[in-house]
Amino acid sequence: MQLRKHAPARALIASLLAAPQLASAFYLPGVAPTSYKQDDLVELHVNTIRPVGDAESVLRSVVSYDYYNPSFGFCKPEGGPKPVGESLGSILFGDRIMTSPFELHMKHNETCKVLCKEPVTYNPSRAFFVNMRIQEGNSLNWLVDGLPAGQKTVDVLSDTEFTNPGFLLGEVMEDGRTKFNNHYDIIIEYHEVTENAGDYRVVGVIVQPESRKYTGKIDENTCNSVSDIVELSETQDTTVQFTYSVYWIPSTTAWATRWDKYLHVYDPKIQWFSLINSAVIVVFLVLTVMSILVRALKKDIARYNRLDQINLDDLSGTSALEDGVQEDSGWKLVHGDVFRNPPNPLLLSIFLGNGTQLFVMAGFTIAFALLGFLSPANRGSLGTIVILLYTVLGFIGGYTSARMYKSLQGDKWKLNIILTPLLVPGIVFSVFFLLDLFLWAEQSSGAVPFGTMLVLVAIWFIISVPLSVAGSWLAFRAPAIEPPVRTNQIPRQIPPVTTYLKPIPNMLLVGLLPFGAIFVELYFIMTSIWFSRIYYMFGFLFLCYGLMIITCAAVTVLMVYFLLCAENYNWQWRAFLAAGASGGYIFLNAIIYWGTKLSLSGLAGSVLYLGYSALISFLFFILTGTIGYFASWLFVRKIYKSIKID
Ligand SMILES: *[C@@H]1O[C@H](CO)[C@@H](O)[C@H](O)[C@H]1NC(C)=O
């Protein structure tokens, strides 16, 4: 670990939190080392070509392309490229891994091997396409023995060297010319297995692309001295020869730690600082809120019970009783309405069911990640585990939805059973499908293949829906959860409320705090999604998730208390919407990010970016809304249980 050199203690905690240690301490399921003998063929696979952002770290596109997209003109292996088996998650997250014509042999150096037999001709329209992709900062992604080929990068902030996956397709030079890389220096680090001499393992892959305008025959001795660059002309045909050299270099890195140099923490100081910062704020906030609330409630309850006592003592007349009632103020007044069923119980219960499903799924996913199961060595494991968990947890979703619906005395129970597994996943799937159509139109490899779509639908309908229905069925057979106080026949009138308790300001205030708890981590997650950096700081994520849950619950409970004190008993939807408003903030944040960090050319890029952001924000809305609702629900039940009502 490079971090360890500097500050042992901090780095140790950092690495524990970041969990690459755990990941590399034992072999992960499905990831076993491959050993090669001298001169064994080591396969090089190619993955999608995707934009990684330019030197000022501004992203110009979010559309990725297949390596063998005909416009690029890259050489194919004999007999055509074949897809390499991938997991569902890896396909969903945009991997399209194929075989390649590169021939690498263990410990066998090569100089300037010619890649295609015939030079490739770029006509003006192809040249235009490729030049556009170069301007967008697209990079090639190769895998050698499952390890991404990268470029060595120095993080100027922490002065550490790390490997950034991918290398550039070409570059726009200072004089405005666009150079196209047609030569690759492939530098492979290998490690001899200590217990087994003569067995070698791949532990590092660096590719340095170059642009070389070859004239005449390519000669091993002179090819490295070509200084002219290749430019693809947009007015006439250009022919290009592709070449590569391979250098095998012995390394001391063991196979088990070969991923460490990819797992670079960008700005660890900022992350630490912000995490501690928000943790302190959250703890302070929650403690303050709780102490105020508990004290106020104790006072309230004592007063209510005293008033009851007076009322009971004074049996002689009704006047004192009326006095007592008049003195009664605050949340007790609405005891006969507080458990009145909210409007739209069907939608509320469906959201709550799906929210619970998301909540448990996120918890399990982060726990798996902390245990090191989702290390980047396990390609696509994050996507796969998310899909699997969501599917299986359909049971919990169905159960929660039906149980809540029954408790809210909803009568359309069939509709509840059917819509719980269909409504939210249906919205998500439809948006996903529409965005996929955009990608199809762009000929992007980011478009999920039709077969994968079918697999998703099959998993959804064959596993998730029946599980959800089973959960619902069980819940409808269980008794309804009875409210602790009876609801009056006639609803009370709700007095007008002060500004900050009006729905909109209320949502803006309450939603801000959970968003604040995850704001910094969100930045890193978004960077890793859109700039395709490896995200592995699951320790941070775990703490942030915890902080978010606590903030969300505390703030919503406080809001509900104020609302009830203002004699407004419509707390159910209000709690859900106010807490869920943090989803709105996430979307707002995405828009700001769009304005500052991205400069997307073309409509498709923007539509895709905004579409995916909206989708994530929507799921977040349901997740935080559910947390807020259940926190308030527990709170309301608890306080009304603790007072005597005659
Ligand atoms: C391959 O080339 C590199 C760099 O020139 C050199 O360090 C290495 O020893 C060579 N490897 C073999 C097996 O010849």
Contact status, residue 628 vs residue 580, Cβ threshold 8 Å: yes
HEC string for 75-104: CCCCCCCCECCCCHHHHHCCCCCEECCCCE
Collapsing DSSP states into helix, strand and coil, what is residue 330?
helix
Q: Which of 36, 39, 109, 206 to mutate to test the pocket of ligand 1 (most atoms within 8 A of CB)?
A: 109
Contact status, residue 400 vs residue 103, Cβ threshold 8 Å: no
Q: What is the structure's pLDDT at 315?
A: 53
Same domain (yes/no): 438, 526: no
Closest CA to 576 of 374, 356, 411, 373: 356
In a domain? residue 408: yes
> What is the C-alpha to C-alpha distance for residues 581 and 507, in angstroms, rounded to an integer?
6
For the record, the structure tokens of 496 come out as 């007008």
In a domain? residue 78: yes
> In angstroms, what is the span from residue 247 Cα to ligand 1's centroid?
6
Q: Is the CB of 109 under 6 A from ligand 1?
A: yes
Q: Give the number of the atom of ligand 1 that is nearest the alpha carbon of residue 107.
A: 13
Contact status, residue 544 vs residue 521, Cβ threshold 8 Å: yes
Residue matched to tokens 């490997």? 163
- Is residue 526 scored above 70 in pLDDT? yes
Cβ count near 614 (within 10 Å): 16
Domain containing residue 540: 266-339+505-646
- Is residue 17 scored above 80 in pLDDT? no
Residue matched to tokens 């700039």? 531
| Chain segment 310-359, per-residue pLDDT in tens | 766 655 444 444 444 445 667 888 888 999 999 999 999 999 999 999 99
| Chain segment 386-425, per-residue pLDDT in tens | 999 999 999 999 999 999 999 998 889 999 999 999 999 9
Collapsing DSSP states into helix, strand and coil, what is residue 155?
strand
Same domain (yes/no): 335, 347: no
- Residue located nearest, by CA, to atom 7 of ligand 1: 249
> In angstroms, what is the span from residue 214 Cα to ligand 1's centroid?
24
HEC string for 165-234: ECEECEEECCCCCEEECCEEEEEEEEEECCCCCCCEEEEEEEEEEECCCCCCCCCCCCHHHCCCCCCCCC
| Chain segment 486-514, per-residue pLDDT in tens | 888 888 888 887 777 888 888 898 899 88
In a domain? residue 179: yes
Last residue of a domain, one of 194, 222, 257: 257
Q: What is the structure's pLDDT at 645?
A: 72
Same domain (yes/no): 247, 270: no
More confident residue, 349 or 641: 349
> What is the C-alpha to C-alpha distance for residues 83 and 96, in angstroms, rounded to an integer?
7
> What is the C-alpha to C-alpha distance for residues 533 and 526, in angstroms, rounded to an integer?
10
> In angstroms, what is the span from residue 188 Cα to ligand 1's centroid?
10
Residues with Cβ within 8 Å of residue 14, at least 6 apart in sequence: 3, 265, 268, 272
Same domain (yes/no): 537, 592: yes
| Chain segment 574-614, per-residue pLDDT in tens | 999 999 999 999 999 999 988 887 888 778 888 889 999 99
Last residue of a domain, one of 482, 497, 529: 482
In a domain? residue 495: no
Same domain (yes/no): 635, 517: yes
Q: Is the CB of 107 under 6 A from ligand 1?
A: yes
> In angstroms, what is the span from residue 156 Cα to ligand 1's centroid?
30
> In angstroms, what is the span from residue 117 Cα to ligand 1's centroid?
26
In a domain? residue 76: yes
HEC string for 345-361: HHHHHHHHHHHHHHHHH
> In angstroms, what is the span from residue 43 Cα to ligand 1's centroid?
19
More confident residue, 245 or 197: 245
Same domain (yes/no): 312, 431: no
Same domain (yes/no): 450, 555: no
In a domain? residue 489: no
| Chain segment 224-237, per-residue pLDDT in tens | 888 889 999 999 99
Same domain (yes/no): 237, 296: no
> What is the C-alpha to C-alpha distance for residues 210 and 179, in angstroms, rounded to an integer?
9
Mean pLDDT value of segment 33-53:
90
> In angstroms, what is the span from residue 192 Cα to ligand 1's centroid?
15
Residues with Cβ within 8 Å of residue 131, at least 6 apart in sequence: 170, 178, 180, 232, 234
Q: Is the CB of 476 under 6 A from ligand 1?
A: no
pLDDT-derived band at 470 (thresholds 50, 70, 90) equals: very high
Sign of CA dihedral 407, 408, 411, 414: negative
Same domain (yes/no): 86, 221: yes
Beta strands at 178-180 and 170-172: parallel, antiparallel or unpaired: antiparallel
For the record, the structure tokens of 345 come out as 């119980």
Helix or strand run (H / E) with residue 576: helix 571-596
Q: Is the CB of 38 under 6 A from ligand 1?
A: no
Q: Is the CB of 415 under 6 A from ligand 1?
A: no
Same domain (yes/no): 517, 557: yes
| Chain segment 418-463, per-residue pLDDT in tens | 999 999 999 999 999 999 888 888 778 878 888 889 999 999 999 9
pTM: 0.86
Same domain (yes/no): 413, 443: yes
More confident residue, 25 or 539: 539
> What is the C-alpha to C-alpha distance for residues 356 and 349, in angstroms, rounded to an integer?
10
Q: Is the CB of 248 under 6 A from ligand 1?
A: yes
| Chain segment 248-278, per-residue pLDDT in tens | 999 998 888 888 888 776 666 777 777 787 7
Residues with Cβ within 8 Å of residue 95, at least 6 apart in sequence: 47, 48, 86, 379, 380
**Integer Rg of the chain from CA:** 30
Q: Is the CB of 440 under 6 A from ligand 1?
A: no
Q: What is the structure's pLDDT at 87?
A: 84
Q: Give the number of the atom of ligand 1 that is nearest the alpha carbon of residue 109.
A: 1
> In angstroms, what is the span from residue 534 Cα to ligand 1's centroid?
30
In a domain? residue 487: no
> What is the C-alpha to C-alpha distance for residues 131 and 346, in angstroms, rounded to an integer?
53
Last residue of a domain, one of 257, 283, 313: 257
Mean pLDDT value of segment 66-74:
92
Contact status, residue 640 vs residue 565, Cβ threshold 8 Å: no
Residues with Cβ within 8 Å of residue 344, at least 6 apart in sequence: 573
> In angstroms, what is the span from residue 199 Cα to ligand 1's centroid?
17
Q: What is the structure's pLDDT at 629?
A: 97
Q: Is the CB of 545 under 6 A from ligand 1?
A: no
In a domain? residue 492: no
Q: Which of 107, 191, 247, 251 to mutate to test the pocket of ligand 1 (most atoms within 8 A of CB)?
A: 247
Same domain (yes/no): 186, 310: no
More confident residue, 302 or 405: 405
> What is the C-alpha to C-alpha distance for residues 186 and 197, in angstroms, rounded to an integer?
24
- Residue located nearest, by CA, to atom 2 of ligand 1: 247
> In angstroms, what is the span from residue 328 Cα to ligand 1's centroid?
88
Mean pLDDT value of segment 357-363:
96
- The tally of domains found in the chain comes to 3
> What is the C-alpha to C-alpha distance for residues 511 and 523, in angstroms, rounded to an integer?
18
> In angstroms, what is the span from residue 494 Cα to ligand 1's centroid?
82
Closest CA to 536 of 46, 24, 85, 6: 24
